[in-house]
Structure 1
Amino acid sequence: MSCNPLRIAIFYLVLSLSAFVWGTLSLLIAPFLPFRTRYRFVIQAWCRFATWLATVTVGIRYEVTGVENIPDTPCVVLSKHQSTWETFFLSGYFEPLSQVLKRELLFVPFFGWAMALLKPIAIDRDNPKLALKQLAKQGDERLKQGAWVLIFPEGTRVPVGQIGKFSRGGTALAVNAGLPVLPIAHNAGQFWPRDGWGKRSGTIQVVIGKPMYAEGTGPRAIAELNDRAFAWVSQAQRDIGDLPPDAAPVTVQDVLQ
């Protein structure tokens, strides 16, 4: 059900004000905190607030299945990407978590500056070859530091009813580190659309799959693991009614057109 425009306006107003206040506090306090405590203060607390705010103002709730599949030690998280909601949710659910973002976002006043304190994997998306090297180097460093690494392998938010081709950057990172990938499917885009300000009340289904390990090393193992992760996420999206049975994968260029 579409949400009342006044409730949506209240949601964005409170969210924006909280980002300003939290970002300012973080800049003053976070530099003096250990990394894990800094993450909990700057990101985890605010992202959990954001998902709670979405629940109480616009009625976007969520259910998680497959929690038992989460490994005890951090690995590479490969998630479906449809909206902004999953960025908030996953950043609050896994800690500490490092995610790939455009380096330009670190220059956004207050919150972007606070994000820079949390060791994100900031890449230059205008230079794909350099971006892959940055992901490989910084991602490996974050995993060794004990952080989860979140990758959206589709490369951009893909509309409901579609699924983007998976890039191999996430599986390459996992294989080279000797770690599994943790696939995640969800239908957040049905309630928090990719485009526009509109929201729909309802319950987002989040499905966490079993960790997937590569069978061997090298390019072939990376490609096979990537195909397996894509197949699992595709089927999980179909199981929750988010993807038609005959949907073909799209490219980033298709989505952006």
Structure 2
Amino acid sequence: MSKLRAINIFFFYILLATSSFLWCTLSFFIVPFLSFRARYRFVNQNWCRFAVWLTSTMVGIKYEVKGLENIPDTPCVILSKHQSTWETFFLSALFEPLSQVLKRELLYVPFFGWAMAMLKPIAIDRSNPKAALKQLAKQGHERLELGCWVLVFPEGTRMPTGQIGKFSRGGASLAVNANLPVLPIAHDAGKYWPKEGWGKKPGTIQVIIGAPMHAEGTGPRAIAELNDRAFAWVSQAQRDIGCLKDEPSASPLEQAR
């Protein structure tokens, strides 16, 4: 990495962190007076759009999306590949309003966490996978009834580029029990914004949104079949964009079961 690029990335992080602090501080005092949908747009969607723009402008990470026509008119459960931080920004800007599964500890961060808590996230304790699944089932169903998209990273954690973790059935179970489809999403963001380190590589992220997948029936067997189908689609899409080479790896959440 050149010295100039390292300096550029350093200032990118400074601007990203500063904007986050200022925006979340401002939001903390404004959002109590807004409706939930307006609150989401003000706190999350607008800032995430800025973050995606800043990433493109300062570090040269752009993106292309295929399959926007596959997004259904009404909210459902999103099952997305997880490789970096970028897709969290992008998906939060694209889907509105969106409730995502996140680590409970993030809500304790001053101002940032307090602002996030007002957006009805599903804040789980990752050290207790069984309780986390029950919480996802209960709160996820409540969010869907409120008209929110529910974002689930079924691998349970960010995976290195070229790998895919086994899918937890929590997202598929939530969709089946709510009689809604899952929307599978694949991408190669990890090539340019890696899981480890602070370095960034310029390039164009490919995002592929698949057609909504409906369960064939109800109950555990239908959940397992839908989950396997979503996993197969995401795996193939990752291969198609040259971002999957290894055999599936179990995520920490899966290993804990």
Q: TM-score range by the shorter chain?
A: over 0.9
1:217-249 Cα offsets, whole Å, 9 max, x none, are: 0000000000000000000000001112xx211
Contact 1:59–1:202 (CA under 8 A) maintained in structure 2: yes
The one-letter code of the counterpart of 1:98 is: S
- 2:118 counterpart SS class: helix
Which residue identity is paired with 1:160? Answer: T
Amino acid at match of 1:95: E
- Superposed, which structure 2 residues align to 1:220-239 within 5 Å? 220-239=221-240
1:179 aligned residue: 180
Q: Supply the distance in 2 between the matched residues of 1:76 and 1:112 (Cα, whole angstroms).
A: 23
Find the residue that maps to 1:199 and give its secondary structure. coil
**2:186 counterpart SS class:** strand
Residue 192, structure 1, aligned to residue 200, structure 2: no
Q: Which runs of 5+ in 2 are unaligned?
A: none
**Corresponding residue number in structure 1 for 2:251:** 252
Structure 1 stretches of 4+ moved >2 Å: 253-256
Name whichever of 144-153 and 104-113 sits farther off.
Answer: 104-113
SS of the equivalent of 2:9 reads helix
CA contact (8 A) 1:158 1:255 kept: no
Partner of 1:29: 30
Q: Deviations over 1:203-227 (max 9, x none)?
A: 0000000000000000000000000
Q: CA RMSD in A?
A: 1.5
Give the match for residue 20 of structure 1: 21
Distance 1:229 1:139 in 2: 18
Corresponding position of 2:94: 93
Structure-2 residue corresponding to 1:62: 63
CA shift in 2, pair 1:71/1:59, >3 Å: same
| Residues matched between the structures, number | 254
SS for the counterpart of 2:162 is coil
What amino acid is the match of 1:232? W
Paired letter, 2:223: I
SS at match of 2:63: strand
Separation (CA, whole Å) in 2 of partners of 1:148 and 1:156? 20
Gaps of 5+ in 1: none
What letter matches 1:33 in structure 2? L
Cross-structure match for 2:161: 160
Q: Report sequence identity in percent.
A: 74
Contact 1:23/1:114 (8 A) holds in 2: yes
Matched residues in 1 for 2:234 and 2:66: separation? 14
Per the alignment, in what secondary structure is the counterpart of residue 118 of structure 1? Answer: coil
Q: How far off is 1:255 after superposition?
A: 11
By how many angstroms is 1:126 displaced?
1.1
- Shift in alpha-carbon separation, 1:195–1:148, aligned structure 2, 3 A: same
Measure, in 1, the Cα distance between the counterparts of 2:45 and 2:25: 16
